[in-house]
Structures are given as structure tokens and as C-alpha cells.
Amino acid sequence: MARTPYGAVRGRWEQDVAAFRGIPYAAPPFGPRRFRPPVPPEPWDGVRDAGAFGPTAPKPPYSEAFARYLSDPVVPGDDCLNLNVWTPDPSPKARLPVFVWLHGGALTRGSSAVPVYDGRTFARDGVVFVSVNYRLGVEGYGLFPDAPANPGLRDQLAALRWVHEAITAFGGDPDRVTLGGQSAGAISAGALVAAPQTRGLVRRAVLQSGPPEATDRDKVRRVVRRMANRLKVPATAEAFAAVDRGHLLRVQADVGRLGSPLLGGPAFGIVIDDDLVPRDPLEALTDGAAPGVGFLTGWTRDEYRLWLVPGGLLDRVDRLGAVALAGAMARCRCGSEVPRGYRALHPEAGTAEIVGQMVTDHLLRLPLHRLADGRTEPSYVYEFAWPSGRPRLGACHALELGFVFDSGDEPDARKLAGEGAPRELAEAMHGAWVRFVSDGSPGWERWDAGHPVRVFGDGEPHLAHGPRDRELALWTATATAPGEPAPASAPELRSVVRRLRRSGALRRS
């Protein structure tokens, strides 16, 4: 049993680890609290059972193509602002390091109940592990004139404050908290670490395949307006709150099909709000925000393959050729010299690989390089390069999760990794994360002018210096900073295609 600020909870002992699931850190965000900032939960009398995962935030299911690779359990109920704690020693005297985990899922899907995120492995190795549910999609990141921005991010801040107040009762040290996440969870973690309100709440941060960033407000408004048009209601929080929740999710999923990480389009994201996110998080962090916070950041070698392999998009992009490259150039706001440079560096690569690596570098690797370059505190960078056993996925987005959590035996991890994932690689990655959370160093050189990157792939993990520097150098004088441009018009795309053909950026067949 452990006591929280709102009441006592009883967990379960599972293989020498105490697990507490479904603990509310805020009140259900519905009724009069819909689209509003989180408020504390109602205190309870007696001892609350914490043996099962709590309700997950409202979300649409993955498409059939993506559900083959990614699991996303649904737990019904309104009390979705909850968290889970795994600890080896639920004693206030333990004072163990704490790892707070924010799940990914493009801010529209995912939850703390995904089996791959089993916190038992971290607790087994001396870390108090906390995983968080937060509002998703239009409920958490819709932008309305009559409601505050970023309620989902505010949920995460409320969970961090809960950890600061309550984690001692579970054996954790509130002064040794690492905040981490993957994909949208990493973007969220970066924004939170940069926020003035988290000063003193976070000591270290882990950003896996997601940079600190703010989304253009007009991009989020476009999603809301398109949903409003489909729903035939005003684009206000009051009007959306009156819509049946299931219908709202179906419309959200339908509108969301128009966007993708590679091609852009409308999407939900964290926005600058003059409060929790007063400026772009990357600019803030490279300008001295979050003093004393060290970072562990990285990416997978073939991030883009999870975006393109499901549904057969990989082959379609290759067939589109010049049009796909033109779209990537519009997405990244660069000239033909950038794809021409990638083609020179990788002459045997197909169009899909060139497009995928360009967009990955622009949206992810460049800003993570900027983050590491701009910090005086220690930063450590990795690349995950082990290829999945599933056809054509390579070292794709999210594949490293089963290794970081040492949860490769879970059937849900095998959906993405296939059979035969190497145990020694999981031990190496998981051990590095445990060391970083515990001591601040994962076990390799900190980032400096030589750009040391720990590569986790086939064989022994090794250190490479500047493995992406040649590609990233192509952007230095030719492209603008990462951002969200307006979609290119058809005449603009035709003009870009002509330039590409003249430039030699296309592979000759």
C-alpha cells in the first residue's frame, strides 16, 4: 500500500516488483471540464485498488494496415487522467531514481497500457517507473477561441507535479526525475522540459525519435476547421463538446488521413500559447532554458519505413519519382541541390529512401543535432540500426521500444520486430537507459564537436563519429529552419519536377 495526496492505493507484487496501476492524478476531463485545464481528483476514503490499468483517453483505432504492427489497447471509462507506478521498494526511505514515460502515437493514439511499455523491467533494475495517460487528439490538442491551448500537455504537467508530490511514498526520489518519451511523447517531453513551470521537477530528459518543437497554430486550426465543417458545427470548444464523442472520433480519424509525417498536412501538435509554451521549445532549450538538465536523444536509422511500408506506400512513392521528391522539397522548404546531394551520397537508393531520409533529417535529426550542439549540459546521442525481421521495415520508427524496455518477449513487440530479436541488444540498450536515468551517463562519450553517436545495430554496439554529418551538411546553406510550410500548388510542383529532372536529383533507370 502507498499513500498519495488524494488517498491510499493498493497495488500488486509481481515478480519482486510492486505495480500500482490506474492511479488518478487529475479529475475526469469531461462534462464542465471538457477542453479545460486539468484539476485535482476528488480525494477518496479508504484504500483504492490499483491492480488494473485505468481508462485510456478517447482515441480512434489504428487503421488495419498499422494495426498489424502497432498495438493500442482501449480501457473504457471517463477517468482517463491516470498513471501507473512500478517500484522495487515502495518505501519512503528508498529514494530511488524515477523515470516518467510519455507514450507516442502522434498525439492522437497510444496509452500507458501498451504492453511494450511494461515498467517492471526498469523497476527490476532499481528505477521507479511511471507511465502516464493524457488527453489526445482534438480533446487534448484542438485549438479553439473559447478554450486554453494544449490541455493534453497540461495533463502531463499535472502528472509531473503529482510525481513531485507523491513519488516518495513509492520509493522514488523527487529530485532525481528523468522525463522521457518516444515520438509524440518525446516532443511533449521536450516542450515540458523547456517550460518555466517545470523548473525543479525534471533532472534529465530522454527524447526518442522526437525533437522539441511547436506546431504552427494555423496548421492545428485547419484540422479543427475541417472537423467543424464535417460536423456542421462552429469551430468552438462549446460546439465540439456537444457532439457525440464517438462521432467526434470518427470525424477526427477521417480528417487525419489527409496528413502524414512525410507529406505534412493538417495535424494536431503542441502550439505556442504564451503560458506553458511561451516560445518554440527548441529555441528555448538552446538559449539556456532548463539549466542543469542533461539529455539522451536519438533516432532509428529508417524512421520513415513505418510511415511508408503499411498500406504499400513505399512502392507508390518510388513510382511517383519526381513528384514525390517535389513534395518532399515542398515539405522541407529546400531547393533541388538537397535531393541532388542525397542522390550523390546514395546513388543506389530508390526515391522512397531519398524522400524518407530527407524528411527524417529535416524534421528530426537536424533539430536533435541543434539541441545537442546548443546545450552546455551533457548530451548523449544514439542511433538504432538493427533491422526488423518483418519484411521491408528495416530499423523503423518505434522499433527500438522493445529493446529500451527489454520487453521483446511480448507478442506486441514481435508485431514490429518479428521473431528472433537479439537479447544482447536489448540488454545493451535497456542497460544504457537505466544508467542514464540513475547516474546521468548511458556509458559512452558525451556530445561534442566530434559528434559521437552510439550505434545499436547488428553486432556489438559501437561509437561512430558524425555518421549523419555529410547528409546534414547539405542543409546548412540551402534550407530554412524546420517548420510547417503551406502545401505547394500544382503549378509549383510541376515547376519543381522540371528542376529535379534538369538537376540530376532523380535516379536514372
Catalytic site includes residue 451: no
**Could you say which of 103, 164, 362, 397 is catalytic?**
397
**Could you say which of 103, 188, 213, 303 is catalytic?**
303
Integer Cα distance of 252 and 507 in angstroms: 38
DSSP letter, residue 296: E
Strand partners for 464: 453
Integer Cα distance of 273 and 156 in angstroms: 16
- At 461, is the secondary structure helix, strand, or coil? coil
Nearest to 498 by CA among 354, 346, 325, 350: 325
Cell numbers that stand for 41 in this block = 481528483
Cell numbers that stand for 470 in this block = 555529410
Identify residue 80 by its one-letter amino acid code: C
Q: Return the HEC string of 82-127.
A: EEEEEECCCCCCCCEEEEEEECCCCCCCCCCCCHHHCCHHHHHCCC
Count of other CB atoms within 10 angstroms of residue 299? 27
Catalytic site includes residue 303: yes
DSSP letter, residue 43: P
Integer Cα distance of 209 and 397 in angstroms: 7
Question: Inter-axis angle of helices 313-320 and 322-332, to 10 degrees?
Answer: 100
Identify residue 399 by its one-letter amino acid code: L
Non-local (6+) Cβ contacts of 338 within 8 A are 329, 332, 358, 474, 475, 478, 479
Binning the chain into helix, strand and coil, the percentages to the nearest 5 are 40, 15, 45
DSSP letter, residue 63: P
Using the structure block, give the residue that is written with the C-alpha cell 490499468.
Answer: 53
Residue 424 CB-density burial (10 A; 0-12 exposed, 13-18 middle, 19+ buried): exposed
**Could you say which of 111, 183, 379, 388 is catalytic?**
183
Question: Inter-axis angle of helices 313-320 and 351-360, to 10 degrees?
Answer: 100
Nearest to 140 by CA among 26, 281, 269: 269
In angstroms, the Cα distances linking 279 to 142, 212, 270, 372 are 19, 11, 11, 19
Catalytic residues: 183, 303, 397
